Structures are given as structure tokens and as C-alpha cells.
């Protein structure tokens, strides 16, 4: 017994001794590693701005080396983990560490580390030191959001034991070869790879599809490209896949078979495409599915209803279509985005009431045609609701008032009706848009002023009327306020000055009146966007504000503000993008300083419809380096055309009195798309250098000037010209053959010139040509279709060859080929126009802005009167071959032109009869066959022309009774005069009356003295000339206005 006790005591003694020695030895080793840690601490600063996590605190602040055992044992320090006498783990995340890390940092001597977490600190854009490979045992490395930069060292691929690597959120570059080596070398252990925001710029290595351990692959915004290795999505261990924001990454969603642990499937903002497989319903563990902003198509599978664990479903901004799938089983959803999905129009929205946990709901532009269900008031967790751009009907449910957590509500562009309930209970609202609905007329209620957290409020086009109450401007936090396109009246309350946070104020197109003191508006120091146009206000400009106190505007619309001078404060504006001063009463010369405001930023300037007479500078030069739109039209400007900047895209100076030659300097604006110098006194010839603009210029309008010489070659093979109007000049020579290169041409107007030659049949090869005007020239010869080329004018709708010397038969072959005039009209009525779009840049953000439309225009004779068509409907069809030398009969093929509304064959040498088949032209509104040699009777079939408003067969050889019925009851004697053998109403000669003309009447008919119809034409021409002289020419049909971007 004693012997056994002795043995036991000996063993116990040895254990105690061993433990003491081990502890002592461990302390010796830790002393070196503790020293290294402390040295690391000493090399770092503590900066309270270096970490963003709200739970951050300075972990190293308590580290200390002194003689106490507790302090000397760094294993007890905050963030330090030890095992077997070594530091194996270091978690200094969110520790306010600040300062660079160099290659010789003592940290890299801790070679036993298995976990290193330095996330959420600021290492001053240091490079990751190449000594990182000294951590041979490292399993977990987290350097996320720590301001490392530069190239990731290739040594990181030597970490063969790495299990989790996180470099997220650093401006790093990882070479594709190092990325491949990293994945290859660690393939047996790598479970988590987080590289979001790291610039990789390569494909995802296929080797990952063989992994048996990968659980998370998160690589947002890495510049990845190529094809995504789809088999990764079927890895049994995979739980998270997130490749959002890799725009060049192509892929598709495969079929899913068997069990899957996938919880997050995120491929948003990539080039993934194709259909969603029905088998996606097998991912029953999925709680985040984000496929937004891709190129997916097809119908959403009904099996989505199986994903009952989903909390986030984001399918917006794709090309899905078809019926709404049964979402109502997804009861755990708190985020639902289906924006811009083209669902079948449905009036059933009951499925919306199932999501009681929902906080975010985005259904914008989803084709919903239902009422907002009153049950939406039960979804009390909602913070954001977007129903904009749908066809939602009915009244706003009063239950909306229950959504007291709501911060954003967008109902823009629906068909909501009725009155508006008080939204006063939605006190957390920061964004509210009711714009573009059909509410009954209403006045601004006082409760709006109680929504004191509103920062963006859009009440445009909501049928507001009455005055703006002073209480409305208690919205002191509002930054964007849009009240445009209503019927608001009265004066602007002085309480507007309460809105000291206001940045954008839109009051366009109301009936606000009275005097507005500009100085009061300028006291809103944060104001950047101000739109006052389309009201009846008088803007008082006193100039009392000093330069230091003026706001710096980005956009200013002071059109229709009764301004008489250029406001002086504009001299000091250097950040303007847009400036509209149109439709005022500003007279005199444009001051020289106007050409220098905001030289580096201005993109749009409109001075149209003022009383400006010229330029203070003799040869004005536009110095703006970014100017894209300059509109000087409808003034009284004299002098030379201003020199445009190279950036110019749209230049409109029509309806002035500008003189001098057509400047070749215009060719120095290589991006010019629209050039309108019509209705001026410009002389000289058209510069040949315009051909250099052929691949940018869309509209060339120089009609009604004094241009001379031949038409130069202005089209090359890449021409984008859609409209060429050179009419009413003194141009001569032939129609240039180079015009056949204008493959996009829709309108060609060369009327009222001195052009000679034969009919330019080769224009028939232009597949988009719709309007061809060659009236009042010196063209001659027979019009025939050439046999060797296909030149049949397939889209021609309007052709005017009047007042030339064409001869021979009417072009009956063309009548058979003009397919646009023959086929049943299916177009929706719109105007022929081109859109005006510009590239807008502010604060390094580039966007495309639609600004308006430019309508095409022509001049034609219709119903006996010369008319200015300032807008041309795309369903207007006309053929005018009058005042030529055509002979022969009216061909039967005329009946095929069933879309014609205007047909004039007057003042030719036609004979024969009026074909009864012309009664098939049932859309005809104007028919003029006067002053020919047509004989026979007027066909009774013409009574079928129910829309015929103008009919003239005077001065022919027609006989017999005038047809009775329908429109023929409306035509007067002058429609038939000069036909001695016609009888019946409205003539005084009854059919059967044998009265013949007297010798005096016959002499009058044969005389060269102007007859009755001549006097009508002469007097009509004089009257219409006076009217036309007052009609404004080609102009912008859509005023410049602010474009609101809605995502």
C-alpha cells in the first residue's frame, strides 16, 4: 500500500513539474510573439474615423507589456487567440487602426497564425505585403474594407491551407493568373471566397466546379467576363453564390436536380439570360433570389411558389412576360421587386395582400390594371412602395393611412381617380409622388405642411387648382418640389422662402401670376434647379444680390416671365447646364458676356421667341465647350451666323433676318445633328464640306433664304440625314445623284428653286423616303420606271411635282408600285419628327436626356390653297402633279392609291373621261382635275367619296348631269365653271335645258385674259401669301423642359 502511494506521489510530482516547465517554456515563446504584437500596435495610430461599424472600439488600446504576469501574457489581450504557446488567431476588425502596413511589419513574424482578421480599418491604401505567404498555416484571412490598394501579391496563391479569404471592398487588382493559381492551390480546402470590388477582369476558373467543399462564392463588381461555369450552381455544398455587377459575365440558370443547400442566388446586373427553369422550385432552402437587371426572358415559372423560405425576391428589370405566378405562398418575403416585368394586363391584385412581413415593394411598370387593394393597409411593415408607371385605377384606399412606417410612396403615371385622403399619418414619408393621375380637381390641403420629413415631393399633373396656401411651404426639409402642369393660380406666397433646403423647384405650366421678386428666389442658397416657365408671372430683376450670396444654378427656366433684359446675375453663373429665356420680351443686342457664362458646363441655351435684334459682338463666337443645343429662332436677329463650338448638336436660328454667306465653319461641329437656318436672308452657296457631317446630321433645313449655285454632294454611304429642306432658294443645276446615299432620308424638299433635268427616278431606291417635294422648278421630260434598277419608292406618301414641265403620260407605272399608298393604313397617327436627345454630364455622372421633338414641315397646295404644314401627320397621303404638260388619259391604276387624301392633276393636257373607278378612293378629301381637256360625264361613283371636301373639275369638256348626293351637295358653281355642257345643281342650268353659250362667253373662254378660276387662284394666292407670311416656319414642337428620370 505504501509503495503504491509513493508511486502515485511520484507521478503527481512529475506532472506538476512538467506543467510548471511547460508553462514557463510557453511564457518564453509568448514573450517573443507578444513583443511582435506590441510592436505592431506601436506602429499603428488610433483614428475614430478609421472604422465604420457602430460596434467598433480600439482593441489594441488595452495591450501593454509590463512586469505583471497578466500583461505579459498576450494570450489574454483583446482579439488574440493562443494555442500550444503560440498566437494562432488575431481579430482586430473594427479597431480604429490607422496607418500603413509595410513588408517588414512585425505582424508577418507570427508564422503560427491560422486566423487573421483586419477588416474595417484604414491602412492608408497600403499594398498587401508579399510576406503574406509566411503564414503557411493560415486558414482564415479577412482584409475587407481596410483600404488596401494596388496589386494583390502573387504570394497569396501560396496559402494552400486557406479555408476562407475575404478581400472585399478594397481598390485591389488581382491578376487572372494569380486568381487561377489561388483557386487551384487551395481547391481542397477553400470553402469561402469573398472578392467583391477587387478588379480581376477575367473568367471564373472552371476548376471550381470540381470543388467538394465550396460553400460561398461572392464576387460582386469584379469585372468578370466570359461564360459563368454553370455547374457551380449544382455543387452540393454551395450555399451562397453572388456575382452581382459583373456586366460582361454571361450565363444562364440551369436545371436543379436533387437536394440543394443553396440559400443565396444573386446574379443581378450581369449578362445572364434565357428562361428560368421550372426546377428552380427545387431550391427549397433559398432565402435570397436576385436576378434583377439581366436579360432573362420568358414566363416566370409557377414553381417559384415552392420557394417558401424566400425573404428577398428581386426579378426586376428583365424581359419576363406572361401571367403573374402564384406569389401568395411566399409568406416570409420582406423584399419584393418585380419592376419592369411585362406581365399580362390583369385587374386582379389580391395576391398583394399576402405579404404581412413585407417592407419593400416595387411593382413599377408591371402592367397592373387593378385597384390598389384596401388590404394593403394590413402590411404595416412597409417602408417603400413603388406602383408607378402602371394602369392602376380607382381611388386611393383610405387604409394607406395605416402604413405609418412608410418612407417612400410612388404612384406616378397611373389612372387613379377620386379625391385624395389625408396622408397626415404618414409622418415618416421622405418621398411622395402622385404625379400623372386623374384625380378630381383639388386644392392643396393644409395637411401637406405637416409632412415635415418630406425631401422629395412630386405633385405634377394631378389636376391641382386654386392658390398655393402659405402653410404648404412649412415643408422645411423638402429638397425637390414639383408642382408643374396643373392649374394653380394666384401669387407665390412669401412663405416659399421657408424652404431653405430646396434644391429643385418646378412650377412649369400653371397659371401663377403677379410679380415675383427674383432676389427672394435667389435667397434660397441651395437652389440648383428652378423652372418657372409657362406661367403668367412677371419676374422682377433688381440685381441687388451680391455674387457671394447667389445660389449656383444647374438649370434655369425663366421662359414666359415677361423679362425685358438679360438678368445681370447670370454673369456670375458658372455651373449652368440648361438656360431657357424663351418667350419673353428681351430686346436689343445679345450682350457679349452672355457668350461666356458657364463656359465649361452649359449644354442647352434657348433664347427663342424674343425681340432680339443682333449681337453685341460683330462675329459672335460660342465659347461653350459642352454646348449641345442652341436655339435663337423667332427673333429679329441681324448680322452673321454665330460660330458654333465643336460640341454643338442642335442649332436652330430660323425666322430671323440673318445675313451673310452660309458659313463653312459649321462643318467644324462634327456632332451636329440638326441645322435649321430657315427663313433668313443667307446668301452664297451651300458649302460642300457638309458632306463631312453626313454621318451625324439628321436634319438640314435652310429653306426660304437666298442661296444660289448647285446642290453639293452632302451624303456619303454612312449618311443619317432624315430631312433635307432646301426649298424657296435660287438653287440650280440638277438633283445630285449622291442623294441616293441618304439611306435614312424621309423628307426631301427642293421646291421653289431653279433645278433642271429629268425626274430623279433613282431616289426611288431610298427605302425610307416618304415625302418628295420638287414643285416650282424647271424639271422636264417623261416619268418612267427604269427597267434595270428597283426604284419604286416603297414608302412614298406625299409627292409634289407641280409647276414643272413634265410631259407624256401620267406615271401610271408608279401608281402601281407606290405600295404605301395602296396598302391599308395601320399606323397610329403621329407627326413626322425626330427626337432630340443629348448626353448630360454633371458631377462626373453621365446620362442620356430626352429633350423634345423637332417636327418636319413642308408647303403644299391643298383644297386650292397654299398651306404651310408645320407638322406632317404620318397618315397624310397626297399626289400633286398639277401645272405640268402631262397628256393622255387618267389611268385606271389611280384607283389602287386607296390611302390618298389629296389628288391634284389640274393644269395639264389630260383628255378622255374621269374613270368611274376613282370612286374607290374613299379617303379622298381633295380632288382637283381642273383646266384639262377631260370629257364625258362626271361619274356617279364619285358620290361614294364621303370625305370629299374640295372638288374642282372646272375648265374641261365635261357633259351631262352633275352627280347628286353626299358631299356633292356642298360644292358651289366654281367647281364646275368652264364646262358648258354640264347641268344640274348647283348650276342654274337644268338638265334638259338646251341653252348654249353666247359668242361673247366663248371668246372669254378662249381669251388669255384671266378667267373666273384664274381670278380665284390669284386672289387666293394673294390672301394665302399674306397668311403664310405670318406663319412661323419650322420650329421645335416640344418646348425644352426638364426631364425627370424615374428608375
C-beta neighbour count of 26 within 10 angstroms = 16
373 within a domain of the structure (yes/no):
yes
Instruction: Tell me the helix, strand and coil percentages in the chain, rounded to 5.
Output: 20, 25, 55
Instruction: Mark whether 789 and 935 lie in a shared domain.
Output: yes
Grid cell of 730 as nine digits: 435660287
pLDDT given at position 547: 59
Grid cell of 670 as nine digits: 462634327
Give the CA distances from residue 375 to residues 217, 400, 814, in Å, rounded to whole numbers and listed in that order: 40, 9, 64
1047 within a domain of the structure (yes/no):
no
User: Own/partner pairs for 835-841, CB < 8 Å, 24+ apart?
Assistant: 836/629, 836/650, 836/674, 836/1036, 836/1038, 838/603, 838/604, 838/628, 838/629, 838/649, 838/650, 839/628, 840/577, 840/603, 841/626
Q: Is the Cβ–Cβ distance between 451 and 473 less than 8 Å?
A: no
Cα separation of 283 and 281, whole Å? 5
Could you tell me the residue range of the domain that residue 814 belongs to? 758-827+875-1010
Cα separation of 862 and 875, whole Å? 15
Boundary of a domain, candidates 525, 551, 577: 551
pLDDT given at position 405: 95
Cα separation of 588 and 616, whole Å? 9
34 within a domain of the structure (yes/no):
yes
Instruction: Mark whether 770 and 821 lie in a shared domain.
Output: yes
Boundary of a domain, candidates 551, 571, 594: 551
pLDDT given at position 1039: 31
Task: Look at residues 455, 389, 461, 464 and name the one whose alpha carbon lies nearest to residue 428.
Answer: 455
Any residues with CB less than 8 A from the CB of 760 and at least 6 apart, and which? 734, 735, 737, 739
Domain count, the chain: 4
pLDDT given at position 439: 94
Q: Is the Cβ–Cβ distance between 211 and 229 less than 8 Å?
A: no
Instruction: Mark whether 388 and 503 lie in a shared domain.
Output: no
pLDDT given at position 1028: 33
Instruction: Mark whether 809 and 777 lie in a shared domain.
Output: yes
Q: What is the 3-state secondary structure (H, E, C) of 51-115?
A: CCCCCCCCHHHHCCCCCCHHHHCHHHCCCEEEECCEEEEEECCCCCEECCCCCCCHHHHCCCCCE
Cα separation of 223 and 239, whole Å? 23
Instruction: Mark whether 414 and 505 lie in a shared domain.
Output: no
Instruction: Mark whether 921 and 989 lie in a shared domain.
Output: yes
Instruction: Mark whether 798 and 905 lie in a shared domain.
Output: yes
770 within a domain of the structure (yes/no):
yes
Boundary of a domain, candidates 551, 573, 596: 551
Instruction: Mark whether 765 and 799 lie in a shared domain.
Output: yes
Residue 100 CB-density burial (10 A; 0-12 exposed, 13-18 middle, 19+ buried):
middle
In the 8-state DSSP scheme, what is residue 14?
H
Task: Look at residues 859, 911, 905, 915 and name the one whose alpha carbon lies nearest to residue 880.
Answer: 905
431 within a domain of the structure (yes/no):
no
At residue 508, φ and ψ (nearest 5 deg) are -55, 145
Q: Is the Cβ–Cβ distance between 664 and 686 less than 8 Å?
A: no
558 within a domain of the structure (yes/no):
no
Q: What is the mean pLDDT of each run of 10 residues along the chain (1047 residues)?
A: 49 44 44 92 95 96 74 86 94 97 92 96 95 94 97 94 97 95 94 97 93 96 96 95 97 91 96 96 96 96 95 96 91 96 86 90 94 91 95 92 95 94 93 96 92 95 95 93 96 92 96 92 93 94 64 94 94 93 95 90 95 85 88 95 92 96 93 95 95 92 96 90 95 94 94 96 93 96 84 91 96 89 81 78 58 82 83 90 96 93 96 95 95 96 94 96 91 93 91 49 37 39 35 33 30
We report the CATH number of the domain holding residue 881 as 3.80.10.10
617 within a domain of the structure (yes/no):
no
Instruction: Mark whether 413 and 502 lie in a shared domain.
Output: no
Residues 981-1017 as b or e (16 or more Cβ within 10 Å = b):
ebbbbebebeeeeeeeeeeeeeeeeeeeeebebeebb
Q: How far apart are the first and last CA of the chain?
A: 90
Instruction: Mark whether 923 and 994 lie in a shared domain.
Output: yes
Instruction: Mark whether 471 and 537 lie in a shared domain.
Output: yes
Cα separation of 813 and 793, whole Å? 12
Grid cell of 781 as nine digits: 421630260
Cα separation of 313 and 335, whole Å? 6
Q: Is the Cβ–Cβ distance between 572 and 599 less than 8 Å?
A: no
pTM for the structure as a whole? 0.81
Cα dihedral sign for 83, 85, 88, 92?
positive
In the 8-state DSSP scheme, what is residue 646?
T
Instruction: Mark whether 906 and 946 lie in a shared domain.
Output: yes
Q: What is the 3-state secondary structure (H, E, C) of 190-210?
A: CCEEECCCCECCCCCCHHHHH
258 within a domain of the structure (yes/no):
no
Grid cell of 680 as nine digits: 433668313
Amino acid at each position: 500500500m505504501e509503495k503504491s502511494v509513493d508511486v502515485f506521489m511520484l507521478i503527481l510530482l512529475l506532472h506538476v513539474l512538467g506543467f510548471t516547465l511547460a508553462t514557463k517554456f510557453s511564457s518564453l515563446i509568448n514573450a517573443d510573439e507578444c513583443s511582435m504584437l506590441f510592436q505592431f500596435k506601436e506602429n499603428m495610430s488610433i483614428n475614430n474615423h478609421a472604422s465604420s461599424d457602430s460596434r467598433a472600439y480600439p482593441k489594441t488600446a488595452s495591450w501593454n507589456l509590463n512586469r505583471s504576469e497578466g500583461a505579459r501574457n498576450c494570450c489574454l489581450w483583446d482579439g488574440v487567440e493562443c494555442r500550444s504557446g503560440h498566437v494562432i488567431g488575431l481579430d482586430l476588425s473594427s479597431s480604429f487602426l490607422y496607418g500603413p502596413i509595410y513588408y517588414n511589419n512585425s505582424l508577418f513574424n507570427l508564422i503560427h497564425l491560422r486566423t487573421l482578421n483586419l477588416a474595417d480599418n484604414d491602412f492608408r491604401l497600403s499594398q498587401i505585403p508579399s510576406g503574406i505567404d509566411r503564414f503557411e498555416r493560415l486558414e482564415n484571412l479577412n482584409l475587407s474594407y481596410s483600404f488596401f490598394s494596388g496589386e494583390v501579391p502573387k504570394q497569396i496563391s501560396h496559402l494552400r491551407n486557406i479555408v476562407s479569404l475575404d478581400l472585399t471592398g478594397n481598390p485591389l487588382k488581382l491578376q487572372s493568373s494569380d486568381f487561377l493559381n489561388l483557386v487551384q492551390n487551395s481547391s481542397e480546402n477553400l470553402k469561402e471566397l469573398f472578392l467583391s470590388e477587387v478588379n480581376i477582369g477575367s473568367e471564373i476558373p472552371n476548376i471550381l466546379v470540381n470543388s467538394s467543399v465550396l460553400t460561398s462564392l461572392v464576387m460582386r463588381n469584379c469585372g468578370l467576363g466570359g461564360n459563368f461555369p454553370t455547374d457551380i450552381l449544382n455543387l452540393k455544398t454551395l450555399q451562397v453564390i453572388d456575382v452581382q455587377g459583373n456586366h460582361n459575365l454571361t450565363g444562364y440558370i440551369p436545371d436543379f436536380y436533387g437536394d440543394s443547400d443553396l440559400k443565396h442566388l444573386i446574379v443581378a446586373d450581369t449578362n445572364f439570360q434565357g428562361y428560368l427553369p421550372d426546377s428552380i422550385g427545387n431550391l427549397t432552402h433559398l432565402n435570397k433570389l436576385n436576378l434583377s437587371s439581366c436579360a432573362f426572358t420568358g414566363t416566370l415559372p409557377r414553381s417559384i411558389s415552392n420557394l417558401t423560405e424566400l425573404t428577398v425576391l428581386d426579378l426586376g428589370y428583365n424581359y419576363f412576360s406572361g401571367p403573374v405566378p402564384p406569389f401568395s405562398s411566399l409568406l416570409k418575403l420582406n423584399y419584393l421587386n418585380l419592376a419592369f416585368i411585362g406581365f399580362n394586363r390583369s385587374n386582379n391584385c389580391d395576391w398583394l395582400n399576402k405579404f404581412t412581413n413585407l417592407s419593400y415593394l416595387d411593382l413599377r411598370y408591371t402592367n397592373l390594371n387593378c385597384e390598389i387593394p384596401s388590404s394593403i393597409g394590413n402590411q404595416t411593415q412597409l417602408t417603400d412602395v413603388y406602383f408607378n408607371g402602371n394602369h392602376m385605377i380607382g381611388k386611393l384606399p383610405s387604409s394607406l393611412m395605416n402604413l405609418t412606417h412608410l418612407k417612400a410612396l410612388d404612384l406616378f403615371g397611373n389612372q387613379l381617380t377620386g379625391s385624395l385622403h389625408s396622408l397626415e399619418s404618414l409622418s415618416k414619408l421622405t418621398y411622395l409622388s402622385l404625379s400623372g393621375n386623374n384625380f378630381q380637381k383639388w386644392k392643396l390641403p393644409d395637411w401637406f405642411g405637416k409632412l415635415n420629413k418630406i425631401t422629395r415631393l412630386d405633385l405634377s399633373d394631378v389636376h391641382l387648382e386654386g392658390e398655393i396656401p402659405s402653410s404648404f411651404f412649412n415643408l422645411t426639409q423638402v429638397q425637390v418640389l414639383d408642382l408643374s402642369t396643373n392649374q394653380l393660380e394666384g401669387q407665390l406666397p412669401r412663405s416659399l422662402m421657408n424652404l431653405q433646403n430646396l434644391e429643385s423647384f418646378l412650377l412649369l405650366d400653371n397659371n401663377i401670376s403677379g410679380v415675383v421678386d427674383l432676389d427672394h428666389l435667389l435667397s434660397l442658397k441651395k437652389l440648383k434647379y428652378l423652372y418657372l416657365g409657362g406661367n403668367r408671372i412677371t419676374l422682377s430683376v433688381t440685381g441687388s444680390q451680391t455674387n457671394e450670396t447667389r445660389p449656383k444654378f444647374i438649370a434655369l427656366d425663366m421662359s414666359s416671365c415677361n423679362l425685358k433684359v438679360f438678368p445681370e446675375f447670370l454673369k456670375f453663373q458658372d455651373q449652368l447646364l440648361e438656360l431657357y429665356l424663351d418667350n419673353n420680351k428681351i430686346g436689343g443686342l445679345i450682350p457679349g458676356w452672355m457668350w461666356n457664362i458657364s463656359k465649361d458646363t452649359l449644354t442647352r441655351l434657348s433664347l427663342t421667341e424674343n425681340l432680339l435684334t443682333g449681337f453685341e459682338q460683330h462675329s459672335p463666337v460660342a465659347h461653350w465647350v459642352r454646348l449641345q443645343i442652341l436655339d435663337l429662332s423667332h427673333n429679329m436677329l441681324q448680322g452673321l451666323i454665330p460660330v458654333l463650338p465643336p460640341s454643338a448638336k442642335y442649332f436652330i436660328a430660323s425666322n430671323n433676318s440673318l445675313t451673310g454667306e452660309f458659313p463653312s465653319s459649321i462643318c467644324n461641329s462634327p456632332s451636329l445633328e440638326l441645322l435649321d437656318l430657315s427663313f433668313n436672308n443667307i446668301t452664297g452657296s451651300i458649302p460642300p464640306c457638309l458632306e463631312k457631317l453626313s454621318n451625324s446630321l439628321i436634319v438640314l433645313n435652310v429653306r426660304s433664304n437666298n442661296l444660289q449655285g448647285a446642290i453639293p454632294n452632302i451624303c456619303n454611304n454612312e449618311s443619317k440625314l432624315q430631312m433635307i429642306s432646301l426649298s424657296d432658294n435660287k438653287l440650280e443645276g440638277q438633283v445630285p445623284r449622291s442623294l441616293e446615299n441618304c439611306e435614312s432620308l424621309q423628307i426631301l424638299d427642293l421646291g421653289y428653286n431653279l433645278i433642271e433635268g429629268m425626274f430623279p427616278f433613282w431616289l426611288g431606291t431610298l427605302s425610307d423616303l416618304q415625302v418628295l417635294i420638287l414643285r416650282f422648278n424647271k424639271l422636264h421630260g417623261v416619268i418612267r420606271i427604269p427597267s434595270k434598277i428597283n426604284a419604286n419608292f416603297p414608302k412614298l406618301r406625299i409627292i409634289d411635282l407641280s409647276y414643272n414641265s413634265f410631259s407624256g403620260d401620267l406615271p401610271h407605272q408608279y401608281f402601281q408600285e407606290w405600295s404605301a399608298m395602296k396598302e391599308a393604313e395601320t399606323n397610329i397617327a403621329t407627326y413626322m419628327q425626330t427626337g432630340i436627345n443629348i448626353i448630360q454630364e454633371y458631377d462626373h455622372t453621365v446620362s442620356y436626356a430626352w429633350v423634345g421633338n423637332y417636327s418636319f414641315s413642308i408647303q403644299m397646295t391643298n383644297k386650292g390653297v397654299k398651306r404651310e404644314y408645320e407638322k406632317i401627320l404620318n397618315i397624310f397621303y397626297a399626289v400633286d402633279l398639277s401645272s405640268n404638260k402631262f397628256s393622255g388619259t387618267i389611268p385606271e391604276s389611280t384607283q389602287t392609291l386607296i390611302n390618298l387624301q389629296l389628288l391634284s392633276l389640274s393644269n395639264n393636257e389630260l383628255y378622255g373621261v374621269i374613270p368611274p373607278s376613282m370612286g374607290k378612293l374613299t379617303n379622298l378629301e381633295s380632288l382637283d382635275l381642273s383646266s384639262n381637256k377631260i370629257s364625258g360625264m362626271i361619274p356617279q361613283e364619285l358620290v361614294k367619296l364621303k370625305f370629299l371636301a374640295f372638288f374642282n373639275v372646272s375648265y374641261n369638256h365635261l357633259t351631262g348631269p352633275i352627280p347628286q348626293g353626299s358631299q356633292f351637295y356642298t360644292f358651289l358653281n366654281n367647281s364646275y365653271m368652264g364646262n358648258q355642257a354640264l347641268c344640274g345643281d348647283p348650276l342654274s342650268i337644268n338638265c334638259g335645258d338646251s341653252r348654249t353659250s353666247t359668242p361673247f362667253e366663248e371668246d372669254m373662254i378662249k381669251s388669255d385674259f384671266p378667267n373666273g378660276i384664274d381670278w380665284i387662284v390669284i386672289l387666293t394666292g394673294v390672301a394665302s401669301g399674306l397668311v403664310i407670311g405670318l406663319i412661323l416656319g419650322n420650329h421645335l414642337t416640344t418646348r425644352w423642359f426638364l426631364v425627370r428620370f424615374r428608375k
